[in-house]
Structure 1
Amino acid sequence: ALEKNMIYLYHPEDLEYLQETYETLIRTRTAIHSKPYRLLTQNNDFIKVKTTFSCVINPWTKKLEFVCGKHQVLEGPTNPNVFLETNINNVPKLTDDQRTKARNCREMIIKIMNEDTLHPLFRSIKNSDSEMEHTSTWCLESITENINKSKGKEEIKFDLQEKDSSFYERDPFMLGGISPHHENDSKSSVETALS
């Protein structure tokens, strides 16, 4: 694994478009097919890809859990050995303004992903609270159905004890076997006759 933040692999000139893509993805919560954009490779070259983005929003916390991207390579790099750690000169030279704009776009993408999806920016008619309630109900029904299926495989047994108000049946289990409910305190409750 390269262990790099994906956002830093996007070409600086494509960040503005990708920011809009992330906003749309989280607002609509449906798969989005991107326009072509560039990704940095290990050898500091770029490949051109199209991506189908999808995301998972936790229905209970309303927070983004993760974003998935299925990439389709449209154009390979000029140097096909993408794992070679060379070709440093191919990294685009950016002015201070471009660098600031790229940094702001990256920060905004991270903010969008960390934002509560109930935020007005991400509210949509399509994904109302009733839809979330429907999702929660569906999850609970699914869990109940799984429990019922497993109940048929192995019977669940409960050992219920009947409630009894008699103190005499519990007396033998008293500490030391002595009970104040009996006439003869010198004998244990097991040996004492019922009164």
Structure 2
Amino acid sequence: IGRYFIDFVHPNDRNIFASQVTKGLVTPKNTNQLHDEGQSQSELYSTLFCRIRRYRGLMNDFKVKGKSVNHVPFQLKLSFKNISDNDGTNIFLVIRASPICSSFEVPNEVTKNDVSFIIRHIADGTIEYVEPEAVGYLGFLPQEIISKNVLQLYHPEDLMYLRQIYEVIVKEGTMQRCKSYRLKTQNGEYLKVETEWSSYINPWSRKLEFVTVKHHVVEGPTNPDVFQMVTANNEPKLTEEQKIKSQTLIDDIIRTMNEVLTKPAEIAKQQMSKHCQEFASYMENFWDDLMKTDDESPAAIHAPENKNNEEDSIMHGLLSSYQYFSDSVSSTDTSLS
């Protein structure tokens, strides 16, 4: 009591914690209006994952400084609460912390139910989104895995197969659930997943923007504690030749995502060309019809100058442009009930 909570948060997670306290509560995930005394007037909360320091107890002596500092992953739910007393109203930050445990209990555990999580990465392999459900299976917190290169998480021996998958994705746009391959966890081990693949092609640049993967967990890692940090003892050892081969395959996959002409992009190009041709043909026919109307209307051309004939101006397009505009607006607007 009396200590700052942020002192117990892992140093690498303090920025995300401070950011969620400010930004997360401005755009809350849930709002329930409450008016009971002691309750918050607006129950706004924000969730995040972070590691909290484990308590170092006094066992046989008072040498606490010599003991190693361990942090445990938690999911936090943050909210503000107004409490009134004789001194006035004070605002408190309420933190509900739930420990996060590994989703696996035994080595190489085979999943009985269909469990999955989604990861999205851009064309150079950089991860830009991961579902919270992935935390218990990979051992990485969202802020740890975002901005990592997903290709570095693939097992080196599976990169040859994955290069073929990315070639199919880039050319076809999607791929159904593939056969199993290995994905690295926080502790340096690998779990087995089967993946559904999809991609987004920018219709203007006709280049691949990002790939969305839905991983179905098939088998857990040899070490079921996915949150255990990698050490020199459990870090996978690769020979220099294996490292060069892995990096070559990774470079090939990145080159495939950025250079290979995709089938969806070619379809988008053809559709855009077709629309342009149709529009040009429409404007050409419209102009020809308008010229014919002018040639076949001598009365309108030789009309007396002192006669103000609105109908002639309508026929010559002064009002038809407005009418076309108003019709197009009415066809796209949606009435509000």
After TM superposition, the score normalised by the length of structure 1 is 0.61
Q: Which residue of 2 aligns with 1:49?
A: 193
Q: Which residue of 2 aligns with 1:153?
A: 335
Task: Give the alignment partner of residue 245 of structure 2, picking from 101, 113, 136.
Answer: 101
2:274 counterpart of 1:130: no
Q: Which residue of 2 aligns with 1:180?
A: none
CA distance in 2, matches of 1:147, 1:37: 52
CA contact 2:169–2:175 (8 Å) conserved in 1: yes
Structure 1 residue 149 displacement after superposition? 5.7
CA distance in 2, matches of 1:55, 1:135: 24
More strand by share: 2
CA distance in 1, matches of 2:274, 2:170: 19
Q: Which residue of 1 aligns with 2:68?
A: none
CA distance in 1, matches of 2:240, 2:228: 28
1:83-133 C-alpha deviation (Å, 9 max, x unpaired): 22135534432222211110001111111222263xxxx458x84742465
Q: Which residue of 1 aligns with 2:236?
A: 92
1:60-97 C-alpha deviation (Å, 9 max, x unpaired): 21011100000001110122221221355344322222
Q: Which residue of 1 aligns with 2:202?
A: 58
CA distance in 1, matches of 2:228, 2:199: 32
2:169 counterpart of 1:8: no
Structure 1 residue 153 displacement after superposition? 2.8
CA distance in 2, matches of 1:133, 1:26: 22
Q: How many corresponding residue pairs?
A: 141
Q: Structure 1 vs Structure 2: percent identity of aligned residues?
A: 42
Deviation above 6 Å: which 4+ runs of structure 1?
A: none
Q: Which residue of 2 aligns with 1:23?
A: 167
Residue 130 of structure 1 aligns with an amino acid whose one-letter code is Q
2:223 counterpart of 1:75: no
CA distance in 2, matches of 1:54, 1:35: 16
CA distance in 1, matches of 2:331, 2:247: 53
CA distance in 2, matches of 1:5, 1:150: 42
Structure 1 residue 45 displacement after superposition? 0.9
CA contact 2:168–2:175 (8 Å) conserved in 1: no
CA contact 1:10–1:39 (8 Å) conserved in 2: yes
CA contact 2:206–2:268 (8 Å) conserved in 1: no
Q: Which residue of 2 aligns with 1:37?
A: 181
CA contact 2:173–2:263 (8 Å) conserved in 1: no
CA distance in 2, matches of 1:31, 1:51: 9
Aligned-pair RMSD on alpha carbons? Answer: 3.0
